[in-house]
Amino acid sequence: MSVIKLTGGRVIDPANGVDDQVRDLYIRDGRLIAAPDAHDRISAEYNISGRIVMSGAIDMHSHIGGGKVNIAREMLPEDHGGDPVERTDLTRSSCGHAAPGTLAAGYRYAEMGYTAAFEPALLPVNARQAHMEMGDTPMLDTGGYAMLGSDDFLLRMLAAKEDQQAINDYVAWTLHATQTVGIKVVNPGAISAFKFNQRKLDLDEQNAFYGITPREIVKVLSRAVHDLGVAKPLHVHASNLGVPGNVDTTLGTMDAAEGLPVHLTHIQFHSYGTEGERKFSSAAARIAEAINQKKNVSADVGQILFGQTVTASGDNMVQYRNAGHGSPKKSVIMDIECDAGCGVVPFKYKDQNFVNALQWAIGLEIFLMVDDPWRIFLTTDHPNGAPFTTYPHLIKLLMDRSFRSAMLDTINPDARAMSNLAGLDREYSLYEIAIMTRAGPAKLIGLADRGHLAPGAAADIVVYKEDADRERMFEKPELVFKDGELVVRDGRIVKVVRGGTHAVKPEFDIGIEKKIKPYFERFHSMRMNNFKISDDELCECGGGSRLMAHACRKRG
Amino acid sequence: MTHEATSTVVTEVACPLCGHACDDLSVDTAGAALAVVAHGCDRAVSGFARLSAESSAATPRIAGRAASLDEACAEAARLLAASAQPVFGGMALDVSGARGAMELVDQAGGVIDHMNNEFGWRASRVVQDGGGIITTLAEVKNRADLILLVGTDAVSVQPRFFERCVWVKETMFDLQPASRRIVYLGGALDTTPGRSPDGRAPDVFDFDCSRMPEALSVLNALVAQQPVDGDAPLGIALARWQELADALLGAKYSVVVWEGSTFDMSQLDLNVGAIGSLVRRLNVITRCNSLPLAGNDGDLSMAAVHIWQTGYPMRTSYASGAPKFDPLHNGIERLLATGEADALVWLSSLNDLQAPPVTGMPTIVIAPPSLKLASEPQVYIPVATPGMHHTGHFVRTDKVVTLPLQALRKSALPAAGEVAVAIATRMKEVQS
């Protein structure tokens, strides 16, 4: 068979403990092999001596598909105009900066060396659309985390004190029905509470109708995900996002998982204290200390970067509260199908604004104070903190202390004075960046053949030209291979490919449908059988994309 | 009546014939055409019968002469390659059809404008200007204690709205469905479906709907506790308006229903903006949401795909090689009338009643064989219908739920999306 050889690159492959070793890589039939055998012939060889080689990057939290993303796109024609993607012989035209079209998003991710991205807030009732949008996102493998926790079916189960086993069955059923790879909870129970006109919901505050607290929801869902053997820990967007002093809620939310694996997402937005004249301060040190101590906890940062973006969230309670801060001032807030909600608010982060500048510093403080790069992930919560296209800039901030200091000197001076960022000397290494953007996400989500470069792995490979300017280095890799095909050369698409969809398939008792089916008929607006997405239909949603199913080993 | 699934009756069928997308239909597949035997409104029954009927005689035509599909696609590609500014109308498609259309319009450097988009783009602009607070059908079904219908009776566009969302047997919460309050704003509406099962008549604020901006101003003022001139705005006692404002303020979860096509076109932005203001103001103290009714003829399916692939809504020109959104400039009626367009593609797989305009320009019609044409186009390609002949996906009125459409009977005809892709592929061959 024909084999592609990458000769002489400096391989950085943390999953296999390889740190900057010169190795030849061989690709056959879309996968890495140890060495060609007698029947193989080298059909193409790339001399990449001196070049840095990593596996394809994986964005474990990026809002790339689904109703709220499409609302954001529709709302922001003024933001798209400056970022056109022109049609070429190979690629289609598209556009968009903060909320790009799926085509633009796929091309740009690939041009930056990303080969997978995961939509973290896939509403079960909107799963089809999310998969269709991700299916129209070329170049990338995709997957979603299904949102539970404010859906009336779960809240009714909790109010009826149904046992954990029944909840596990419902969670597993949801993963199957929505073809997703994990479970997310957003402001637990509060999207429902907002529908009953509650305007805030603390960790131990009851939903007015159900009497259920966010703590209980995090507890049962983290247990369910664990029991079912789903690799990806429960993905938690904690209560009180953006509220000064929310650090206590965030620490309490970690504890609500009672020692089981739990992932706190965009934790920057949940790391705020109330010190200082303006009653807004960094609590990054307490958060980082907690992550360092609690080995069951992981987090992604949700770094903000200055400029125009749009916030798109399932958290309609918080988005409604923050709608007045929108820039441009407009917002869409939705209650959705007794299932969830969403809120879309455009936002412009300003470096001279005290709060925004401190948010910027808090995110960087967390990055630099969390010791274990396997449990902290590089995200901007695209597009909520900044568009994903800012990742190379963010990497430079983490890897280059003098650059970071220079940037720090330009922000709001009061915010600078409130931050300990100037005293944080750490510089991330390429090895640590590779952990945060490749090996770590693959391990967290349970993608055994991605995020590394050992024989057997899918040949998602990125070749960078070493450059002391890390932003320049990471924004334009020389070569990107997706499943063994060269798709990007010198930062330009040379081949358009369609990725696959990751989904987990935990075992469960199908008897749970005896409860779900009548619920749909009595209270819902559609039938259960039309809610569920079959394997065949998933591929149709994806426009012909491939289902990559992952079995789960039950722990419950 | 509930039909059991039998060897020829398929149950839980989703219907693509209006934006409500009911998914509880039973359809008998045995006859020469599909027969909706349970839960079908008149539109569904007639639509399924008409669009699904035996069509083996239908064949592509070039200038009126029978041609193969390949020949017809090649001729369409030739016409589009020769066109400086082709426009794409009709667009009554499901998601797969819309995907194909997007590939073609990009390749051809055209503009897409759905047959319902004259009000659709205006509604979209209100979202771009201010946004909205919006709900969906299951929330209405379970939570709405006061439903205010602004200039619409709902059932003219979504016949089963009251049956499925309002006068239901039960809700999940502390709300008796029959106790809901129904209020119509505007006259000359079919208010019969608003009568509760226990015989309670709806409130009707009877006035000429062209005065809707005034009516919404009165309500907005009263909800904001601002003075209103006169004892009887729009001929209706101020006390009634005040009572309605108080009821909205006192409701736990009111819903304001509107539908773009019922407004005077020149007032659409104004009315939708005023509804947005009313809803925003009510949410300061209680919950209130708007519910736009749309989705007929697949307009939301086409809109969704257009937006997600390129970032922009319809009325975007691909002529320069990059998308340029200009809804005022790029209305295809205008482009056709001024002669700025020089070819028309009419794509439709869900609507066989609205014929393409006769323009005198090269015209390509890709539509169900049951569509009656006023004149013979240069290229005609008959296509199958999603949800009847082939599977597909349909975006419902609330833009959240996408229903899977089933293939219920075989057809030799291609899907509209396949035809669009075939033409785009031909164009690439011609142009390369």
Q: Do B138 and A523 touch (CB under 8 A)?
A: yes
Nearest chain A residue (CA) to B403: A530
Together in a domain, B251 and B386? no
Together in a domain, A146 and A73? yes
Q: Do B136 and A541 touch (CB under 8 A)?
A: no
- A7, A48 Cβ separation under 8 angstroms: yes
- A241, A185 Cβ separation under 8 angstroms: no
Together in a domain, A47 and A62? no
A125 contacts in chain B (CB < 8 Å)? 138, 400-401
Q: Give the residue carrying structure tokens 């390949």.
A: B70
Per-position DSSP letters for A538-556, written without gaps between them: HHHHTTSPEEEEEE-----
Nearest CB among B95, B135, B321 relative to A87 is that of: B321
Residue B432's pLDDT band, with cuts at 50, 70 and 90, is: low
Nearest CB among B135, B141, B393 relative to A132 is that of: B393
Distance CA B337, CA B193 (A): 41
Together in a domain, B255 and B304? no
The full 3-state SS of chain B, as one line of letters, equals: CCCCCCCCEEEEECCCCCCCCCCCEEEECCCCCCEEEECCCHHHHHHHHHHHCCCCCCCCEECCEECCHHHHHHHHHHHHHHCCCEEEEEEECCHHHHHHHHHHHHHHCCEECCCCHHHHHHHHHHHHHCEEEECCHHHHHHHCCEEEEECCCCCCCCCCHHHHHHCCCCCCCCCCHHHCEEEEECCCCCCHHHCCCCCCCCEEECCCHHHHHHHHHHHHHHHCCCCCCCCCHHHCCHHHHHHHHHHHHHCCEEEEEECHHHCCHHHHHHHHHHHHHHHHHHCCCCEEEEEECCCHHHHHHHHHHHHHHHCCCCCEECCCCCCEECCCCCCHHHHHHHCCCCEEEEEECCCCCCCCCCCCCCEEEEECCCCCCCCCCCEEEECCCECCCECEEEECCCCCCEEEECCCCCCCCCCHHHHHHHHHHHHHHHHC
- B25, B40 Cβ separation under 8 angstroms: yes
Residue B2's pLDDT band, with cuts at 50, 70 and 90, is: very low
Q: Do B308 and A527 touch (CB under 8 A)?
A: no
Q: Do B138 and A525 touch (CB under 8 A)?
A: yes
CATH code: domain of residue B312? 3.40.50.740
Together in a domain, B254 and B330? no
* Domain region containing A13: 2-55+455-493
* Domain region containing B35: 9-51
Among B293, B313, B340, residue at a domain's last position:
B293
Together in a domain, A39 and A141? no
Together in a domain, A40 and A128? no
Together in a domain, A250 and A355? yes
Residue B5's pLDDT band, with cuts at 50, 70 and 90, is: low
Distance CA A554, CA A218 (A): 20
Together in a domain, A277 and A400? yes
Res B55: pLDDT: 74
Nearest CB among A77, A196, A339 relative to B325 is that of: A77
**B415 lies in some domain:** yes
- A192, A214 Cβ separation under 8 angstroms: no
Of residues B238, B279, B30, the one with CA closest to residue A334: B279
**A450 lies in some domain:** no
Together in a domain, B213 and B278? yes
Q: Do A76 and B318 touch (CB under 8 A)?
A: no
Together in a domain, B211 and B328? no
Mean pLDDT of B90-96: 98
Res A556: pLDDT: 66
Q: How many domains does chain B have?
A: 3
**B3 lies in some domain:** no
Does the pLDDT at position B1 exceed 70?
no
Strand bridging mode A479-482 / A376-377: unpaired
**B214 lies in some domain:** yes
Tell me, yes or no, if A54 comes closer than 8 A to chain B by beta carbon: no
**B142 lies in some domain:** yes
**A518 lies in some domain:** no
Of residues A468, A456, A464, the one with CA closest to residue A481: A464
Among B293, B315, B345, residue at a domain's last position:
B293
Together in a domain, B18 and B100? no
CATH code: domain of residue B223? 3.40.228.10
Q: Do B323 and A530 touch (CB under 8 A)?
A: no
Q: How many domains does chain A have?
A: 2
Amino acid at B324: K
ipTM passes above 0.95: yes
Together in a domain, B186 and B218? yes
Backbone angles phi, psi at A417, to 5 degrees: -70, -25
Distance CA B279, CA B269 (A): 15
Distance CA B167, CA B161 (A): 9
Res A292: pLDDT: 98
Nearest CB among A136, A197, A540 relative to B309 is that of: A136
Together in a domain, B70 and B213? no
- A440, A373 Cβ separation under 8 angstroms: yes
**B208 lies in some domain:** yes
Instruction: Determine the 3-state secondary structure of A315 from DSSP.
Output: coil
Q: Which residues of chain A have pLDDT under 70?
A: 556
Together in a domain, A141 and A168? yes
Helix (H) or strand (E) holding A516: helix A513-523
Together in a domain, B303 and B284? no
Together in a domain, A346 and A476? no
**A167 lies in some domain:** yes
CATH code: domain of residue A34? 2.30.40.10
Together in a domain, B272 and B326? no
Kindly state the DSSP code that residue A172 receives in the 8-state scheme. Answer: H
Res A543: pLDDT: 81
Tell me, yes or no, if A234 comes closer than 8 A to chain B by beta carbon: no
Together in a domain, A113 and A49? no
Together in a domain, B22 and B65? no
**B257 lies in some domain:** yes
Tell me, yes or no, if A133 comes closer than 8 A to chain B by beta carbon: yes
Q: Do B309 and A94 touch (CB under 8 A)?
A: yes
Nearest CB among A86, A336, A337 relative to B322 is that of: A86
Tell me, yes or no, if A261 comes closer than 8 A to chain B by beta carbon: no
Together in a domain, A480 and A432? no
- Closest CA–CA distance from residue A308 to any residue of chain B (Å): 16
Res B7: pLDDT: 83
**Encoding tokens for residue B119?**
């009000």
Q: Do A95 and B14 touch (CB under 8 A)?
A: no
- Closest CA–CA distance from residue A473 to any residue of chain B (Å): 28
**B315 lies in some domain:** yes
Res B57: pLDDT: 79
CATH code: domain of residue A209? 3.20.20.140
Together in a domain, A12 and A87? no
Nearest chain A residue (CA) to B104: A92
Distance CA A461, CA A484 (A): 8
Nearest chain B residue (CA) to A98: B311
**Interval B219-261: pLDDT, tens:** 999 999 999 999 999 999 999 999 999 999 999 999 999 999 9
Helix (H) or strand (E) holding A159: helix A152-159
Together in a domain, A256 and A375? yes
- In A289-328, the residues whose Cβ lies within 8 Å of chain B are 320, 323
Residue B79's pLDDT band, with cuts at 50, 70 and 90, is: very high
Distance CA A136, CA A498 (A): 8
- Closest CA–CA distance from residue A515 to any residue of chain B (Å): 14
Residue A390's alpha-carbon distances to A435, A455, A491, B116, B412, in angstroms, are 19, 32, 15, 38, 50
- B401, A337 Cβ separation under 8 angstroms: yes
Together in a domain, B148 and B269? yes
- A32, A453 Cβ separation under 8 angstroms: yes
**B4 lies in some domain:** no
Q: Do B139 and A338 touch (CB under 8 A)?
A: yes
- Closest CA–CA distance from residue B126 to any residue of chain A (Å): 9
Among B228, B262, B293, residue at a domain's last position:
B293
Of residues B346, B322, B321, the one with CA closest to residue B332: B346
